[in-house]
Amino acid sequence: MDLMQKVKERKTNISIIGMGYVGFPLAVEFASAGFSVTGIDLDAGKVNVINHGGSHIPDIDPAVVSPLVKAGLLKATTDFDVLESADLMSICVPTPLNKTKNPDVSFILAAAGEIRKRLRKGQLIVLESTTYPGTTEELIRPMLEETGLKVGEDFFLAFSPERVDPGNQVYTIKNTPKVIGACTPECLKYAEAYYSSIVEQVVGVSSTDAAEMVKLLENTFRAVNIGLVNEVALMCDVLGIDVWEVLNAAATKPFGYMPFLPGPGLGGHCIPIDPHYLSWKLKSLNYYARFIELAGEINSSMPTYVTRKVTDALNDVERSVKGSKVLLMGVAYKKDIDDVRESPALDVAKLLQVKGADVCFHDPFVLEFKLNGETLASQELTEELVAGADCVVVTTDHSDFDYQMILEKSKIVVDTRNAFGARGIKDDKIVKL
């Protein structure tokens, strides 16, 4: 049976490598559409949770997963041999930066290596991991063609950037347009057929390089604009102007302006990292990405700025940072999720601890994290905890925090997210960003 016909009749097997924030939701979506899906992950704990009908991702309800597992449409494994029977293979592995802030594509190469060992005619491989333009054509394609099989004829290869926004209840995989670039027109045809079965709109582009660039543009756009408003916050501080008043007033303009908000820094796996992939690629072509580098400098300086705000706030009440108890409200990189990857709250915690502060935290989504080699556990949010802190710092504006109680019981509050202002709460003890 032709691959296109197999897709239409849901008679294809799908394997997704990586069961994280990108791969697992994708697996659930394909399984919900009637495909037989196997997730592959080296973490046996994740595999066990999925195979028992559970979910390790807050956005995915176990009530959705369980019926799919029971119906045999969704399962997980640590064994890459399932790739032999897969018709579609999607690579959704991490793409971090190394210590010198250069791209680390080792996870992509490892996944591609496992596919190469089992590649056969008629298979479609789609890379979803964010990477620099040229990765699919320059790294993956040659690796797979070493088998003697030819792309566009024997197997099909494409790149489709993930657009998952953790915690977003409005835009899901289904209603977020899916960009796809492929190595050949034939590759694009099959990739579009697969994704059209789970998304409302597929946007095809001319090449994998273009699709890779789309993803980097999206997140670089955000990083640069966040860098801009972060610098505006710094300037307003020098000028003695309330930055939130300025931003709220500017946001009333119905054209030519898009609101972005300042904060303690950038977090998450994408925005702090992806622009560096583009910058690195361009450096190899002797081009210096000035906007990216400058925005990176400003955004990475924000935890230091927040630490200074805490220091000044304590000084105003005749307290030294050293020996003071500082309570961080939230350590996830954004509200209402459990992801601490690249969270600026962790940097703030480290800087405060270096200055001698006794740092503790409360986060309903994060049980613990490591700080300078020490494991810190989330404290129960009580009136006693808040009252016992010399300074409370809102580093993540989770929705279910009792902000009124925090204000009433705290001695002083440094609000890096305008959590109080957004709720119409004003008080002299609140120090704004």
Catalytic residues: 270
275: nearest Cα among 103, 391, 33: 103
φ/ψ of residue 179, rounded to 5 = -85, 135
The 8-class DSSP code of residue 103 comes to: B
The 8-class DSSP code of residue 42 comes to: S
Element (H, E) at 421: helix 419-422
- Cα–Cα distance measured from residue 147 to residue 303, given in angstroms and rounded to the nearest whole number: 49
φ/ψ of residue 400, rounded to 5 = -95, 10
Query: Looking at 335-433, which runs of residues are DSSP E strands?
Result: 358-362, 368-371, 374-377, 391-394, 413-415, 430-432
174: nearest Cα among 152, 191, 190, 197: 197
* Contact (Cβ atoms closer than 8 angstroms) between residue 333 and residue 342: yes
* Contact (Cβ atoms closer than 8 angstroms) between residue 107 and residue 128: no
* Biggest CA-to-CA distance, the chain: 78
Residue 334 DSSP SS3: coil
Residue 277 DSSP SS3: helix
